Amino acid sequence: MSHPLLIKNGRVLDPASGTDTLRDIAALDGVLVSPNALRGLSGVEEFDATGLVVCPGLIDLHVHLREPGRPDKETIETGSRAAAAGGFTTILAMPNTIPVTDSASTVAWIRQRAQEKACVHVLVCGCLSQGQKGEVLAPFASLKKAGVVALSDDGRCIQSAELMRRAFEHAHMVGLPILDHCQDESLTADGVMNEGYWSTVLGLHGWPAIAEEIMISRNAMLADLTRHRVHCQHVTTAGGARILREARSRGVPISGEICPHHIALTDAGLEGYDTNFKMNPPLRTQADADALVEAFREGVIDILASDHAPHCDFEKEVEFQEAPFGILGLETEAGLFLEHLHHRHGIPLMDIVRALTMNPAKLLQIPKGTLAEGAEADITVLDTETPWTVDKHQSASKSRNTPFHGQTLRGRAVATFVSGRKVWDLAGFYGE
Protein backbone atom coordinates (compact mmCIF):
# COMPACT_ATOMS: atom_id res chain seq x y z
CA MET A 1 0.00 0.00 0.00
CA SER A 2 2.46 2.65 1.23
CA HIS A 3 1.55 5.73 -0.85
CA PRO A 4 3.31 8.55 0.99
CA LEU A 5 1.41 11.85 0.89
CA LEU A 6 2.60 15.30 1.95
CA ILE A 7 0.24 18.28 2.13
CA LYS A 8 2.47 21.30 2.46
CA ASN A 9 2.21 24.84 3.82
CA GLY A 10 -1.49 24.75 4.66
CA ARG A 11 -3.30 26.43 7.52
CA VAL A 12 -4.09 23.26 9.41
CA LEU A 13 -7.31 23.48 11.42
CA ASP A 14 -7.83 20.52 13.73
CA PRO A 15 -10.78 20.98 16.07
CA ALA A 16 -10.01 17.71 17.87
CA SER A 17 -6.74 19.16 19.18
CA GLY A 18 -7.93 22.77 19.04
CA THR A 19 -4.96 23.74 16.86
CA ASP A 20 -4.80 26.27 14.04
CA THR A 21 -1.24 26.39 12.66
CA LEU A 22 0.69 26.74 9.42
CA ARG A 23 2.34 23.37 8.92
CA ASP A 24 2.70 20.27 6.76
CA ILE A 25 0.73 17.09 7.31
CA ALA A 26 1.65 13.65 6.04
CA ALA A 27 0.14 10.22 5.48
CA LEU A 28 1.58 6.78 4.87
CA ASP A 29 -0.35 3.56 4.33
CA GLY A 30 -3.56 5.55 4.58
CA VAL A 31 -2.78 6.76 8.09
CA LEU A 32 -1.70 10.21 9.32
CA VAL A 33 1.97 10.29 10.31
CA SER A 34 4.55 12.91 11.24
CA PRO A 35 6.02 14.58 8.13
CA ASN A 36 9.40 13.30 9.42
CA ALA A 37 8.25 9.75 8.72
CA LEU A 38 8.40 10.48 4.98
CA ARG A 39 12.11 11.41 5.02
CA GLY A 40 14.05 9.41 2.50
CA LEU A 41 10.96 7.87 0.90
CA SER A 42 10.57 8.08 -2.84
CA GLY A 43 7.36 8.66 -4.77
CA VAL A 44 5.88 11.08 -2.25
CA GLU A 45 2.71 12.69 -3.63
CA GLU A 46 2.83 16.35 -2.75
CA PHE A 47 -0.02 18.85 -2.55
CA ASP A 48 0.78 22.53 -2.11
CA ALA A 49 -1.80 24.01 0.26
CA THR A 50 -0.30 27.49 0.44
CA GLY A 51 -3.12 29.93 1.21
CA LEU A 52 -5.54 27.07 1.83
CA VAL A 53 -7.14 25.51 4.91
CA VAL A 54 -6.40 21.84 5.65
CA CYS A 55 -8.86 20.09 7.96
CA PRO A 56 -10.10 16.61 8.84
CA GLY A 57 -12.22 15.07 6.07
CA LEU A 58 -15.71 16.53 6.25
CA ILE A 59 -18.53 14.29 7.49
CA ASP A 60 -22.15 14.69 6.39
CA LEU A 61 -24.56 12.67 8.50
CA HIS A 62 -27.66 13.45 6.44
CA VAL A 63 -27.46 12.19 2.84
CA HIS A 64 -30.02 10.43 0.63
CA LEU A 65 -28.28 8.12 -1.85
CA ARG A 66 -31.45 6.55 -3.38
CA GLU A 67 -29.93 3.11 -3.78
CA PRO A 68 -31.48 0.57 -3.61
CA GLY A 69 -34.64 1.60 -5.43
CA ARG A 70 -34.20 4.83 -7.36
CA PRO A 71 -30.86 4.75 -9.19
CA ASP A 72 -32.33 7.20 -11.72
CA LYS A 73 -32.19 9.89 -9.00
CA GLU A 74 -28.80 8.94 -7.52
CA THR A 75 -26.63 5.89 -6.93
CA ILE A 76 -24.15 5.12 -4.22
CA GLU A 77 -21.46 5.75 -6.84
CA THR A 78 -22.74 9.15 -8.05
CA GLY A 79 -23.74 10.30 -4.58
CA SER A 80 -20.30 9.49 -3.22
CA ARG A 81 -18.72 11.40 -6.10
CA ALA A 82 -20.89 14.41 -5.27
CA ALA A 83 -19.70 14.03 -1.68
CA ALA A 84 -16.03 13.97 -2.70
CA ALA A 85 -16.55 17.02 -4.92
CA GLY A 86 -18.07 18.79 -1.92
CA GLY A 87 -15.12 17.92 0.34
CA PHE A 88 -16.84 15.08 2.21
CA THR A 89 -14.90 11.94 3.04
CA THR A 90 -17.64 10.27 5.10
CA ILE A 91 -21.39 10.33 4.55
CA LEU A 92 -24.27 8.71 6.38
CA ALA A 93 -26.86 7.20 4.03
CA MET A 94 -30.46 7.77 5.14
CA PRO A 95 -32.74 4.71 5.23
CA ASN A 96 -35.70 5.88 3.11
CA THR A 97 -34.58 3.79 0.16
CA ILE A 98 -36.71 1.17 -1.62
CA PRO A 99 -36.81 -1.14 0.26
CA VAL A 100 -36.21 0.93 3.37
CA THR A 101 -33.17 0.02 5.45
CA ASP A 102 -35.01 -1.88 8.16
CA SER A 103 -33.30 -5.26 7.78
CA ALA A 104 -29.79 -6.64 8.05
CA SER A 105 -29.93 -7.80 4.43
CA THR A 106 -30.54 -4.30 3.07
CA VAL A 107 -27.75 -2.94 5.25
CA ALA A 108 -25.44 -5.65 3.91
CA TRP A 109 -26.42 -4.83 0.32
CA ILE A 110 -25.69 -1.10 0.76
CA ARG A 111 -22.37 -1.75 2.49
CA GLN A 112 -21.31 -4.18 -0.23
CA ARG A 113 -22.29 -1.74 -2.97
CA ALA A 114 -20.43 1.07 -1.22
CA GLN A 115 -17.35 -1.13 -0.95
CA GLU A 116 -17.43 -1.68 -4.71
CA LYS A 117 -18.58 1.72 -5.97
CA ALA A 118 -18.08 4.54 -3.49
CA CYS A 119 -15.06 6.84 -3.53
CA VAL A 120 -15.72 8.04 0.04
CA HIS A 121 -16.68 6.21 3.24
CA VAL A 122 -20.40 5.42 3.24
CA LEU A 123 -21.95 4.68 6.62
CA VAL A 124 -25.44 3.31 6.94
CA CYS A 125 -28.36 4.56 9.01
CA GLY A 126 -31.02 2.00 9.88
CA CYS A 127 -34.75 2.62 10.29
CA LEU A 128 -36.40 3.28 13.63
CA SER A 129 -39.62 1.56 12.61
CA GLN A 130 -40.38 -1.34 10.29
CA GLY A 131 -41.20 0.02 6.85
CA GLN A 132 -40.85 3.53 8.34
CA LYS A 133 -44.53 3.13 9.17
CA GLY A 134 -44.24 4.25 12.78
CA GLU A 135 -46.07 1.17 14.07
CA VAL A 136 -43.51 -1.47 15.09
CA LEU A 137 -39.85 -0.91 15.92
CA ALA A 138 -37.20 -2.15 13.50
CA PRO A 139 -34.84 -4.89 14.78
CA PHE A 140 -32.21 -2.58 16.32
CA ALA A 141 -29.86 -5.32 17.52
CA SER A 142 -29.60 -7.04 14.15
CA LEU A 143 -29.27 -3.68 12.37
CA LYS A 144 -26.40 -2.84 14.70
CA LYS A 145 -24.80 -6.22 14.07
CA ALA A 146 -25.10 -5.55 10.32
CA GLY A 147 -23.16 -2.33 10.81
CA VAL A 148 -25.51 0.65 11.10
CA VAL A 149 -24.16 3.55 13.14
CA ALA A 150 -27.45 5.34 13.82
CA LEU A 151 -31.22 4.98 13.61
CA SER A 152 -33.72 7.31 11.91
CA ASP A 153 -37.04 7.27 10.08
CA ASP A 154 -35.95 10.37 8.13
CA GLY A 155 -38.58 11.57 5.72
CA ARG A 156 -41.06 10.34 8.30
CA CYS A 157 -41.39 10.79 12.04
CA ILE A 158 -42.74 8.30 14.58
CA GLN A 159 -45.96 9.95 15.77
CA SER A 160 -46.72 7.81 18.81
CA ALA A 161 -44.96 9.05 21.93
CA GLU A 162 -45.27 5.55 23.36
CA LEU A 163 -43.49 3.93 20.42
CA MET A 164 -40.85 6.66 20.41
CA ARG A 165 -40.23 6.08 24.10
CA ARG A 166 -39.61 2.38 23.38
CA ALA A 167 -37.33 3.40 20.52
CA PHE A 168 -35.24 5.51 22.90
CA GLU A 169 -35.05 2.67 25.42
CA HIS A 170 -34.11 0.01 22.87
CA ALA A 171 -31.64 2.27 21.09
CA HIS A 172 -30.03 2.91 24.47
CA MET A 173 -29.64 -0.82 25.04
CA VAL A 174 -27.87 -1.34 21.72
CA GLY A 175 -25.91 1.93 21.96
CA LEU A 176 -27.09 3.64 18.76
CA PRO A 177 -27.93 7.35 18.53
CA ILE A 178 -31.38 8.34 17.26
CA LEU A 179 -31.61 10.95 14.50
CA ASP A 180 -35.13 12.31 14.25
CA HIS A 181 -36.96 14.10 11.47
CA CYS A 182 -39.17 16.23 13.72
CA GLN A 183 -42.65 16.56 12.22
CA ASP A 184 -46.06 16.24 13.85
CA GLU A 185 -47.92 14.91 10.84
CA SER A 186 -51.35 15.85 12.23
CA LEU A 187 -50.30 19.49 11.97
CA THR A 188 -48.75 19.31 8.51
CA ALA A 189 -51.40 17.27 6.66
CA ASP A 190 -51.22 18.72 3.12
CA GLY A 191 -48.53 21.29 3.95
CA VAL A 192 -46.03 22.04 1.22
CA MET A 193 -44.40 25.24 2.54
CA ASN A 194 -43.98 27.28 5.71
CA GLU A 195 -47.31 28.42 7.16
CA GLY A 196 -47.31 32.22 7.22
CA TYR A 197 -47.54 35.32 5.07
CA TRP A 198 -46.16 33.68 1.92
CA SER A 199 -48.33 30.56 2.11
CA THR A 200 -51.35 32.89 2.27
CA VAL A 201 -50.14 35.02 -0.64
CA LEU A 202 -49.27 31.99 -2.78
CA GLY A 203 -52.34 29.98 -1.83
CA LEU A 204 -50.36 26.93 -0.75
CA HIS A 205 -51.02 24.73 2.27
CA GLY A 206 -48.87 25.57 5.27
CA TRP A 207 -46.46 23.36 7.26
CA PRO A 208 -46.33 25.31 10.54
CA ALA A 209 -43.23 25.83 12.68
CA ILE A 210 -45.02 24.36 15.66
CA ALA A 211 -45.23 20.94 13.96
CA GLU A 212 -41.45 20.76 14.22
CA GLU A 213 -41.23 22.35 17.66
CA ILE A 214 -43.71 19.95 19.27
CA MET A 215 -41.54 17.00 18.19
CA ILE A 216 -38.29 18.66 19.29
CA SER A 217 -39.95 19.21 22.70
CA ARG A 218 -41.10 15.60 22.81
CA ASN A 219 -37.63 14.41 21.93
CA ALA A 220 -36.06 16.58 24.64
CA MET A 221 -38.43 15.11 27.21
CA LEU A 222 -37.80 11.53 26.09
CA ALA A 223 -34.04 12.08 26.03
CA ASP A 224 -34.27 13.46 29.55
CA LEU A 225 -36.39 10.52 30.70
CA THR A 226 -34.30 7.78 29.11
CA ARG A 227 -30.93 9.59 29.20
CA HIS A 228 -30.48 8.52 25.58
CA ARG A 229 -28.92 10.80 22.97
CA VAL A 230 -31.23 12.15 20.32
CA HIS A 231 -30.22 14.35 17.41
CA CYS A 232 -32.86 16.56 15.76
CA GLN A 233 -32.35 16.64 12.02
CA HIS A 234 -32.73 19.83 9.98
CA VAL A 235 -33.83 22.28 12.67
CA THR A 236 -35.49 25.23 10.92
CA THR A 237 -37.27 27.43 13.45
CA ALA A 238 -36.42 29.99 16.10
CA GLY A 239 -38.65 28.07 18.49
CA GLY A 240 -36.80 24.83 17.79
CA ALA A 241 -33.50 26.51 18.61
CA ARG A 242 -35.01 27.89 21.84
CA ILE A 243 -36.16 24.42 22.95
CA LEU A 244 -32.70 22.98 22.23
CA ARG A 245 -31.04 25.81 24.17
CA GLU A 246 -33.19 25.19 27.22
CA ALA A 247 -32.79 21.41 27.14
CA ARG A 248 -29.04 21.49 26.58
CA SER A 249 -28.60 24.01 29.41
CA ARG A 250 -30.06 21.32 31.70
CA GLY A 251 -27.71 18.67 30.35
CA VAL A 252 -30.33 16.79 28.32
CA PRO A 253 -28.52 14.62 25.72
CA ILE A 254 -29.99 16.33 22.67
CA SER A 255 -28.44 18.05 19.63
CA GLY A 256 -29.56 19.63 16.40
CA GLU A 257 -28.29 20.24 12.90
CA ILE A 258 -28.71 23.08 10.41
CA CYS A 259 -28.91 22.53 6.66
CA PRO A 260 -27.53 25.25 4.35
CA HIS A 261 -30.80 26.13 2.64
CA HIS A 262 -32.51 26.96 5.93
CA ILE A 263 -30.08 29.81 6.57
CA ALA A 264 -29.38 30.83 2.95
CA LEU A 265 -33.02 31.06 1.75
CA THR A 266 -36.45 31.98 3.10
CA ASP A 267 -40.05 31.20 2.19
CA ALA A 268 -40.17 34.43 0.16
CA GLY A 269 -38.10 32.48 -2.38
CA LEU A 270 -41.18 30.45 -3.30
CA GLU A 271 -42.78 33.43 -5.02
CA GLY A 272 -42.11 31.96 -8.46
CA TYR A 273 -43.45 28.51 -7.43
CA ASP A 274 -40.04 27.02 -8.28
CA THR A 275 -40.09 23.46 -6.94
CA ASN A 276 -36.35 23.65 -6.26
CA PHE A 277 -37.41 25.68 -3.22
CA LYS A 278 -39.57 22.82 -1.92
CA MET A 279 -38.13 20.69 0.81
CA ASN A 280 -39.17 19.11 4.10
CA PRO A 281 -39.01 20.83 6.53
CA PRO A 282 -39.73 23.92 4.44
CA LEU A 283 -37.87 27.19 4.09
CA ARG A 284 -38.91 29.49 6.94
CA THR A 285 -38.75 33.25 7.61
CA GLN A 286 -35.72 35.53 7.83
CA ALA A 287 -36.25 35.73 11.60
CA ASP A 288 -35.96 31.93 11.79
CA ALA A 289 -32.82 31.88 9.63
CA ASP A 290 -31.27 34.60 11.82
CA ALA A 291 -32.14 32.67 14.98
CA LEU A 292 -30.49 29.54 13.58
CA VAL A 293 -27.29 31.43 12.84
CA GLU A 294 -27.28 32.81 16.39
CA ALA A 295 -27.96 29.34 17.83
CA PHE A 296 -24.98 28.07 15.88
CA ARG A 297 -22.79 30.93 17.08
CA GLU A 298 -23.69 30.04 20.67
CA GLY A 299 -23.06 26.32 20.18
CA VAL A 300 -26.72 25.44 20.84
CA ILE A 301 -26.70 23.84 17.38
CA ASP A 302 -23.30 22.33 16.71
CA ILE A 303 -23.69 20.01 13.72
CA LEU A 304 -24.00 21.00 10.04
CA ALA A 305 -25.43 18.67 7.37
CA SER A 306 -26.85 18.82 3.86
CA ASP A 307 -30.03 16.70 3.63
CA HIS A 308 -28.77 15.97 0.08
CA ALA A 309 -32.05 14.85 -1.54
CA PRO A 310 -31.74 14.25 -5.28
CA HIS A 311 -34.87 14.08 -7.44
CA CYS A 312 -35.26 13.75 -11.21
CA ASP A 313 -36.25 16.71 -13.40
CA PHE A 314 -39.43 14.95 -14.48
CA GLU A 315 -40.49 14.68 -10.85
CA LYS A 316 -39.72 18.29 -9.97
CA GLU A 317 -41.14 19.81 -13.17
CA VAL A 318 -44.75 19.55 -12.01
CA GLU A 319 -47.17 21.71 -10.04
CA PHE A 320 -45.75 22.83 -6.71
CA GLN A 321 -48.13 20.68 -4.62
CA GLU A 322 -47.21 17.56 -6.60
CA ALA A 323 -43.42 17.87 -6.52
CA PRO A 324 -41.33 15.77 -4.14
CA PHE A 325 -39.61 17.48 -1.20
CA GLY A 326 -35.85 17.92 -1.34
CA ILE A 327 -32.84 19.51 -3.02
CA LEU A 328 -29.22 18.62 -3.77
CA GLY A 329 -26.79 19.53 -1.03
CA LEU A 330 -23.35 17.94 -1.04
CA GLU A 331 -21.55 20.09 -3.58
CA THR A 332 -22.84 23.47 -2.39
CA GLU A 333 -22.78 22.74 1.34
CA ALA A 334 -19.28 23.88 2.28
CA GLY A 335 -19.61 27.01 0.12
CA LEU A 336 -22.98 27.95 1.58
CA PHE A 337 -21.85 27.48 5.16
CA LEU A 338 -18.64 29.43 4.54
CA GLU A 339 -20.60 32.20 2.83
CA HIS A 340 -23.50 32.42 5.28
CA LEU A 341 -21.84 31.58 8.60
CA HIS A 342 -18.26 32.75 8.16
CA HIS A 343 -18.22 35.58 5.63
CA ARG A 344 -21.59 37.16 6.37
CA HIS A 345 -21.80 36.52 10.11
CA GLY A 346 -18.17 36.34 11.19
CA ILE A 347 -18.41 32.86 12.72
CA PRO A 348 -14.88 31.46 13.15
CA LEU A 349 -13.73 28.79 10.69
CA MET A 350 -12.84 26.51 13.58
CA ASP A 351 -16.49 26.37 14.70
CA ILE A 352 -17.67 25.55 11.18
CA VAL A 353 -15.02 22.85 10.70
CA ARG A 354 -15.81 21.34 14.11
CA ALA A 355 -19.51 21.08 13.17
CA LEU A 356 -18.59 19.29 9.94
CA THR A 357 -16.02 16.89 11.43
CA MET A 358 -15.50 16.25 15.12
CA ASN A 359 -19.07 16.78 16.29
CA PRO A 360 -20.78 14.43 13.83
CA ALA A 361 -17.99 11.87 14.46
CA LYS A 362 -18.68 12.03 18.19
CA LEU A 363 -22.42 11.65 17.68
CA LEU A 364 -21.90 8.59 15.47
CA GLN A 365 -19.15 7.27 17.78
CA ILE A 366 -16.69 6.83 14.90
CA PRO A 367 -12.93 7.46 15.19
CA LYS A 368 -12.93 10.26 12.63
CA GLY A 369 -12.96 14.04 12.56
CA THR A 370 -9.35 14.38 13.72
CA LEU A 371 -5.93 15.02 12.22
CA ALA A 372 -4.14 13.19 15.05
CA GLU A 373 -1.26 10.96 13.98
CA GLY A 374 -2.44 7.35 13.77
CA ALA A 375 -5.93 8.32 12.58
CA GLU A 376 -7.14 7.39 9.09
CA ALA A 377 -5.89 9.99 6.60
CA ASP A 378 -9.21 11.51 5.56
CA ILE A 379 -8.38 15.12 4.73
CA THR A 380 -10.18 18.03 3.11
CA VAL A 381 -8.51 21.11 1.65
CA LEU A 382 -10.67 24.24 1.58
CA ASP A 383 -10.24 27.51 -0.24
CA THR A 384 -12.29 29.69 2.09
CA GLU A 385 -12.02 32.91 0.07
CA THR A 386 -12.16 32.55 -3.72
CA PRO A 387 -15.60 33.24 -5.18
CA TRP A 388 -17.03 30.59 -7.52
CA THR A 389 -20.34 30.20 -9.25
CA VAL A 390 -22.58 27.17 -8.76
CA ASP A 391 -23.25 25.39 -12.05
CA LYS A 392 -25.69 22.50 -11.74
CA HIS A 393 -24.55 21.13 -15.09
CA GLN A 394 -21.13 20.44 -13.56
CA SER A 395 -22.61 18.41 -10.69
CA ALA A 396 -21.35 14.88 -10.05
CA SER A 397 -24.84 13.98 -8.82
CA LYS A 398 -27.33 12.30 -11.15
CA SER A 399 -29.90 14.96 -10.35
CA ARG A 400 -30.03 18.70 -10.93
CA ASN A 401 -32.52 19.92 -8.33
CA THR A 402 -30.75 22.86 -6.76
CA PRO A 403 -32.05 26.38 -6.11
CA PHE A 404 -28.45 27.65 -5.98
CA HIS A 405 -27.62 27.38 -9.70
CA GLY A 406 -25.87 30.57 -10.81
CA GLN A 407 -25.16 31.81 -7.28
CA THR A 408 -21.70 33.03 -6.39
CA LEU A 409 -20.28 31.80 -3.08
CA ARG A 410 -17.05 32.52 -1.28
CA GLY A 411 -15.29 29.30 -0.35
CA ARG A 412 -15.43 25.63 -1.24
CA ALA A 413 -13.48 22.40 -1.03
CA VAL A 414 -10.63 22.19 -3.53
CA ALA A 415 -9.25 18.72 -2.77
CA THR A 416 -10.48 15.61 -0.97
CA PHE A 417 -8.27 12.79 0.33
CA VAL A 418 -9.76 9.49 1.50
CA SER A 419 -7.54 7.03 3.40
CA GLY A 420 -4.45 8.94 2.25
CA ARG A 421 -5.38 9.07 -1.45
CA LYS A 422 -6.58 12.03 -3.44
CA VAL A 423 -10.00 11.14 -4.81
CA TRP A 424 -10.96 14.57 -6.13
CA ASP A 425 -9.64 18.06 -6.75
CA LEU A 426 -10.73 20.93 -8.98
CA ALA A 427 -9.27 19.09 -12.00
CA GLY A 428 -11.54 16.08 -11.47
CA PHE A 429 -11.66 12.59 -9.95
CA TYR A 430 -8.76 10.19 -9.38
CA GLY A 431 -8.28 6.49 -8.86
CA GLU A 432 -10.87 5.25 -11.33
- Is-contact 69 106, C-beta < 8 A? no
Q: From the centroid of its chain, how far is CA 210?
A: 23
CB 425 to Zn ion: min, Å:
31
**Residues β-bridged to residue 126:** 151
Q: Does 154 bind Zn ion (CB under 5 A)?
A: yes
d(CA 323, CA 350): 38
Q: How far is CA 308 from CA 114, 244, 291, in A?
A: 17, 24, 23
The site map against Zn ion for 159-198 (x = CB under 5 A) is ----------------------x-----------------
CB 62 to Zn ion: min, Å:
7
Which residue among 181, 218, 248, 284 contacts ligand DOR (CB under 6 A)? 181
**Residues β-bridged to residue 19:** 14
Out of ligand DOR, Zn ion, none, what residue 126 binds, judged by CB under 5 to 8 A for its kind, is none
d(CA 39, CA 319): 62
Q: Which is nearer to ligand DOR, 81 or 316 (CB)?
A: 316
Q: Which is nearer to ligand DOR, 183 or 370 (CB)?
A: 183
d(CA 304, CA 246): 20
Q: Does 154 bind ligand DOR (CB under 6 A)?
A: yes
Q: Give the SS3 label for residue 62.
A: strand
Q: Which is nearer to ligand DOR, 66 or 229 (CB)?
A: 66
Q: Does 278 bind Zn ion (CB under 5 A)?
A: no
d(CA 199, CA 59): 34
CB 154 to Zn ion: min, Å:
4
Residues numbered 74-113 forming contacts with ligand DOR, rule: CB under 6 A: 96
CB 352 to ligand DOR: min, Å:
23
Q: Does 153 bind Zn ion (CB under 5 A)?
A: no
CB atoms within 10 A of CB 165: 16
**Residues β-bridged to residue 254:** 230
The site map against ligand DOR for 258-297 (x = CB under 6 A) is ---------------------xx-----------------
d(CA 378, CA 421): 8
Single-letter amino acid, residue 242? R
Residues numbered 299-328 forming contacts with ligand DOR, rule: CB under 6 A: 307, 309, 324-326
Q: How many residues bind ligand DOR (CB under 6 A)?
A: 12
Q: Which is nearer to ligand DOR, 101 or 416 (CB)?
A: 101
Q: Does 155 bind ligand DOR (CB under 6 A)?
A: yes
* 180 is an active site residue: no
Contacting range for Zn ion; rule: CB under 5 A; set: 31-39, 147-155, 287-295, 364-372: 147-155
- Beta strands per DSSP E along 58-146: 58-63, 88-93, 121-126
CB 326 to ligand DOR: min, Å:
3
Q: Exactly one of 24, 307, 351, 383 is catalytic; which is it?
A: 307
Give the CB-nearest residue to ligand DOR: 326
Q: What's the Rg (C-alpha) of the chain? A: 21
b (16+ CB within 10 A) / e for 273-287: eebbbbbbbbbbbee
- Is-contact 64 305, C-beta < 8 A? no
Q: Does 354 bind ligand DOR (CB under 6 A)?
A: no
| Helix pair 209-226, 161-174: axis angle to 10 deg | 50
Out of ligand DOR, Zn ion, none, what residue 362 binds, judged by CB under 5 to 8 A for its kind, is none
d(CA 261, CA 402): 10
Query: Where along the sequence are the contacts to Zn ion (CB under 5 A)?
Result: 154, 181
Query: Where along the sequence are the contacts to ligand DOR (CB under 6 A)?
Result: 64, 96, 154-155, 181, 279-280, 307, 309, 324-326
Which residues does the annotation mark as catalytic? 307
